[in-house]
Amino acid sequence: MGRKYYVGLVYIKTKDIFGVPFPVWYDKETGQPIFAKKRRLPVNPLVDMPHESMIPEGCTEIVPEVDVMDTWATSSITLLINMNYMGEDH
């Protein structure tokens, strides 16, 4: 993620640090992605773990995704996410 810029002959790449995290983890050994179940969204892979049924057989260590979505992807729904708008109460 992030943005790439050229300033003269210098290449500059930025990394987004604020935003909604991608809801995915990886099997450390194989790199196989483990996606969050839709009904559990939103999740923070740095804090939350994937549902047990989603973990591949033989997986011994899970690594969270550390990149975040660009703000344009979530800016219009950030308030709804924070309010848990589609949560169990609705």
Q: Are 22 and 69 in contact (CB under 8 A)?
A: yes
> Residue 69's CB: how many other CB atoms inside 10 A?
15
pTM above 0.75, yes or no: no
C-alpha to C-alpha distance for 62 and 16, rounded to whole angstroms: 23
C-alpha to C-alpha distance for 59 and 88, rounded to whole angstroms: 30
Q: What is the pLDDT of residue 17?
A: 64
pLDDT per residue as tens, the chain (90 positions): 456 555 566 655 556 666 778 899 999 999 999 999 888 888 889 999 998 889 999 999 999 998 887 766 666 666 676 677 666 654
